[in-house]
Amino acid sequence: MWELDQFYPKRVEDDILQGHLLNGDCYVILQTTISNNQVFEWTIYYWIGSRSTKDKQTCAAIHAVNLRNFLGAECRTKREEEGDESSEFIALFDGNLIVLDGARGETGFIHVEDDVVVPRFYRLFGTEKRLKIVSMPLTHFSLDSKFSYLLDAQSHLYLWIGKNSRSIIQTKGRLLAEKISVRERRGEASIHIEPETRESNAFWAIITGVWLPAPLPKPTTNSDQKDHIIKPLDNHDENKKSIIHLLR
């Protein structure tokens, strides 16, 4: 799998994303199989994030074709768009495709300083097999007892449990918070369960904007590790809620 960065594809290491795609990026993905005749067969996908820039989208299509020509493959390249992925594409991730806010590519994005915490707020809903996540405005007016919510404050992750929310969604919300902590925060983010009517003061302080937790300390990195940093995008327009899928 390759991500588009400054007009060129860059290999995504398996241990970095592992089923995570970022809605500010585009990717080229190569599926390789061996036929019964011991011949290589290829399928080439290029995935378009809903908040990716036009140059990334165009370059993803171009480099998908370049890859096909390099391999001498006879297959057509397949375009996949966030929120409208084919079942074949989802199967590449063993049914566990997570799309998160942010981008790693440099082009067209505003850098947010490491020492500034930008809270993100998500509504969780769906079925036993499919969890849907919608970005919400950070306000108490967004809360609804029928749903669970994830408040991402970088060093602290708060899972709000609506009194009428489904238990399966609550469980999937906990698993999502654990994945974010382990994969994106080096396992250092604290996870807090916030049952409706029994919320902590810290939860309400973040929701109302009167307090933010301290950011995680900067890791000791080398030049290679710097390429793995995921950058938040601009704050969401409240009328443009990005849908994130967790398919299981």
Neighbours of 145 (CB within 10 A): 11
Give the per-residue pLDDT at 232: 55
- Do 2-100 and 120-208 share a fold? yes
Q: Is the dihedral of CA 85, 229, 189, 233 positive or negative?
A: negative
Please give the structure tokens belonging to residue 13.
Answer: 């290491």
Neighbours of 78 (CB within 10 A): 16
Residue range 233-245: mean pLDDT, rounded: 42
Contact 174, 191 (CB under 8 A): yes
Residue-range domain boundaries for the chain: 2-100, 120-208
2-100 CATH: 3.40.20.10
More confident: 97 or 193: 193
176: left (phi over 0), alpha (psi -120 to 50) or beta: alpha
Rounded to two decimals, the pTM is 0.52
The pLDDT-based confidence of 54 (bands split at 50, 70, 90) is confident
Please give the structure tokens belonging to residue 91.
Answer: 């199967």
Q: In degrees, to the nearest 5, what angle opens at C-alpha 88 toward C-alphas 87 and 89?
A: 90
Whether residue 111 is predicted with pLDDT greater than 50 in this model: the reply is no
- Taking the C-alpha atoms of 135, 141, 143 and 146 in order, what is their torsion angle to the nearest 10 degrees? -110
Residues of the chain above pLDDT 70, percent: 80
Give the per-residue pLDDT at 150: 96
Which range among 49-53, 105-109, 156-160, 212-216 has the greatest average pLDDT?
156-160
The pLDDT-based confidence of 165 (bands split at 50, 70, 90) is very high
User: What would the pLDDT profile of 168-198 be if each residue is shown by its tens digit?
Assistant: 999 999 999 999 999 888 899 999 999 999 9
What fold, for 120-208?
A: Severin (3.40.20)
Question: CA 189, CA 241: separation in Å to the nearest integer?
Answer: 25
